[in-house]
Structure 1
Amino acid sequence: MKATLKGRYEGDKATAAFTNGPSLRGLTLTLEKPGAFLVDLKPHNQDVRFQFMNSALVLDKRVSLTYTHSTSLAAAPAAAPPSRTALDCTVTFDPANKVSLSHSLGSGGCRLKYTYAHGVDRLTTIEPLFDTNKNAWEFAITRKFAGGDAVKGTYQASTKLLGLEWSRDSLAGGSFKVATTFDLSDQSKAPKLIAESTWNYEI
């Protein structure tokens, strides 16, 4: 089984990560058995997320199902956010093409995503997504490089948010990610910066 420790910092301004320093409010503890289950705990607000995964071959296609439930263990019920439950289904047609459907219970809608991995080595991934609740499209494109680096760009049509992300997987068992988002609907807003580090341990 694998245990994961995540440290995350979110700043409303790009300079906040350096002027204020890192915050333990972004700490996440994760216990995971890949392909079976995952438990996330955020100690500062006692938010917990349970995720269970399973997959099977159906008509020679790989079908994967994921059940996710998020809630709060906070003592004060009035301050606790409502429970959130989601179901995800992914059908893999071949190594380069798959379709995913996500539904949050009670939302009345779903998110449909098509994933295409381009090229022989599949280093470039293109992901258009349609959200029926918002009646809007989202787009993502990811490019992987030798050495574990990856660059990703995203755009959400409903909010006009443009995102850029750089990540690197370390051979030592950890990884880190730096991302920023730009609000194109209000260019007076400073970009939001997110930094995240992950360390994996076998237990």
Structure 2
Amino acid sequence: MDRLKAKATVKLQNLKLKPLDTTPVPLSRRFPFSNLKLRKIKASLKGRYTNDKSTAVVILSVNAGDLKLRSSMTDVTVVKGPSLNGLTLDVEKPDFFITDYDVPKKNFRFQFMNSVRVADKPLKLTYIHSRRDNRTVVDGSLAFDSANKLSTNYMLGTRNYMLKYSYMHKGVTTLESCYD
């Protein structure tokens, strides 16, 4: 055993090595997607167990510049063997848009959000369209102050319309009147 160690040492001593090249290589040559700055990767696992049923959801989220890339998967995807049931892919730009793709249903869902000022009060508008369900919803919310808020919801092509007024009394009790 000692003889083997000695031979290995001798061979390493006789080996001629070139000096290391210390010139910096541009990041774009080392990694092809180096211009995409991934700021933060988040993963979460949520589960619930009751006597008759248990569920689990895994969410992987990556911040890529202004966008958030998210993938979620339910326990159905892995319990009965690999499948695409329960797999959803999302692209989001916070406070601007969300695009969801439900892989097993092959359904796209688009949501666009915007905020404008009306009489110096914030009006938040949301437009949601689900392609496979052929459903379009428009939401609006106008906050008069921290205690008074008016919101509306309408599903195009149907008679589903909702108008709601919320009043928060002394920051504790909320009173809502709604027309549906």
TM-score normalised by structure 2 residue count: 0.52
**Unmatched tracts of structure 2, length 5 or more:** 1-40, 78-84, 169-173
State the shift of 1:50 in Å.
0.8
CA contact (8 A) 2:107 2:132 kept: no
> 1:129 corresponds to which residue?
153
| Structure richer in helix, relative to its length | 2
Q: Number of matched residues?
A: 124
> 1:5 corresponds to which residue?
45
Alpha-carbon spacing, 1:47–1:116, altered in 2? closer, same or farther (3 Å): same
**Is 1:29 aligned with 2:62?**
no
Q: Which among 75, 86, 111 is matched to residue 47 of structure 1?
A: 86
CA contact (8 A) 1:8 1:28 kept: no
> 2:82 corresponds to which residue?
none
- Structure 1 residue matching 2:76: 3-state secondary structure: coil
| Structure richer in strand, relative to its length | 1
- The Cα RMSD (Å) is 3.9
Alpha-carbon spacing, 1:43–1:111, altered in 2? closer, same or farther (3 Å): same
Matches of 1:50 and 1:129 in 2, distance apart?
A: 26
- Structure 2 residue matching 1:110: 3-state secondary structure: strand
> 2:106 corresponds to which residue?
83
Matches of 2:150 and 2:88 in 1, distance apart?
A: 28
Alpha-carbon spacing, 1:69–1:138, altered in 2? closer, same or farther (3 Å): farther
- Structure 2 residue matching 1:53: 3-state secondary structure: strand
**Unmatched tracts of structure 1, length 5 or more:** 10-19, 56-62, 73-81, 145-150, 158-203
State the shift of 1:64 in Å.
0.9
Point out the more displaced range, 134-143 or 93-102: 134-143
The percentage of aligned residue pairs carrying the same residue is 10
State the shift of 1:88 in Å.
1.0
Q: Within 5 Å, give how 1:83-122 maps onto structure 2.
A: 83-94=106-117, 96-119=122-145, 122=146
Select the structure of larger CA radius of gyration: 2
Matches of 2:123 and 2:93 in 1, distance apart?
A: 19
Matches of 1:8 and 1:116 in 2, distance apart?
A: 36
Matches of 2:47 and 2:165 in 1, distance apart?
A: 25
Map Cα deviations across residues 138-172 of structure 1 (whole Å, 9 max, x no partner).
4678899xxxxxx9x8x895xxxxxxxxxxxxxxx
Instruction: Give the residue type in structure 1 aligned to 2:59.
Output: T
